[in-house]
Amino acid sequence: MVGARAMTSQVIDAPRTDCQARLMHTPHFHRTTPHTSAGLPLRQLRRQAGLSQLQLAMLAGISQRHLSCIETGRAKPGPGTLHALLMVLETPLEQCNEVFLAAGLAPRYAATDLDAPALEAVRLAIDHLLQANNPAPAIVIDGQWDVRAANGATAALFALIGLPVNGLAGLNLLDTLLEPGGLGEHLVNAGEVRAVAWRRASQEALGNPGLAERLGALPPLSDPAAPTTGMPPLLLTRIASAQGELSFMSTFTTFGMPLDITVASLRIEHLIPADAHTWQVMTEAWQRLSASASCSVV
């Protein structure tokens, strides 16, 4: 240590050369590599949500001053604060991961395979909802609009209109609605249903490159004809079958408070018969399918 002090003294006390003197007076240049910050994406998300700093801060349980410092990069949010802000802004989990990376933090939300043991409770809940919906059709679709599961009534509906029942596995809902030879060709009001599906998928595709690519490969959509009478309370899915026209209302079920990207992407579409005729046809078709399945098992 004594030698180290002596060497330090020698370095400090040594006379400076002209070159060293010039280096000592060289102006300091700032780093060109930008510091990681979640401020800009948070500000953009807040403005998209139409919230002021005060409103967002109150909803997230932090001070407006702290939020202002985060947005300007003067403060770095912890994982808990960032999570609270993003949840208030209802940010998709995949986009949340991008904001965490921008803040210099590890991605927080995983995309677990639906068949993984960790999602067993999710699969059981899905199966319960699908079976409970019989004899009305119900399907599970993911963020790419791929059909991940369907109930027996969906298979019965496909059989009624002449579509292959085994084609449900690996089916994409957008493809079958918009491409030739699919479900869309059996819709009485194809233009209206296709337009709604296209608008919904286009909105989702803004943050989903894979879905945007799929939409780009599908045939262009023609404008649906405007209704000639008053607008109905909701749009029905009207399907032509050998048993006459079948009409369905559409409702969706999603998982509340998901913390996994896969779970967040899932939704169950329930096609609820809109009249007594459709209820009767679907009940009989499902009973026939169930009976044939029981016979094949025996």
Cα separation of 195 and 185, whole Å? 14
* Superfamily covering domain 39-102: lambda repressor-like DNA-binding domains (1.10.260.40)
Residue 25: the pLDDT is 40
Q: Quick one: what percent of the chain has pLDDT higher than 90?
A: 71
Q: Which two tokens stand for residue 131?
A: 């079976």
What predicted TM-score, i.e. pTM, was given to this entire model?
Answer: 0.77
Which tens digit of pLDDT belongs to each residue from 32-70? 334 468 999 999 999 999 999 999 999 999 999 999 999
Residue 220: the pLDDT is 81
Secondary structure of residue 46 in the 3-state scheme: helix
> How many other β-carbons are positioned within 10 Å of the β-carbon of residue 166?
9
* Superfamily covering domain 117-224+234-297: PAS domain (3.30.450.20)
Which tens digit of pLDDT belongs to each residue from 203-223? 889 878 899 999 999 888 776
Can you give 19-82 as a three-state secondary structure string? HHHHHHCCCCCCCCCCCCCCHHHHHHHHHHHCCCHHHHHHHHCCCHHHHHHHHCCCCCCCHHHH
Cα separation of 148 and 130, whole Å? 12
**Residues 6 or more apart in contact with residue 222 via CB below 8 angstroms:** 191
Distance linking the first and last C-alpha atoms of the chain: 89
- Count how many residues are written for the chain: 298
Domain ranges for the chain, please list them. Answer: 39-102, 117-224+234-297
Find the mean pLDDT for residues 15-33. Answer: 37
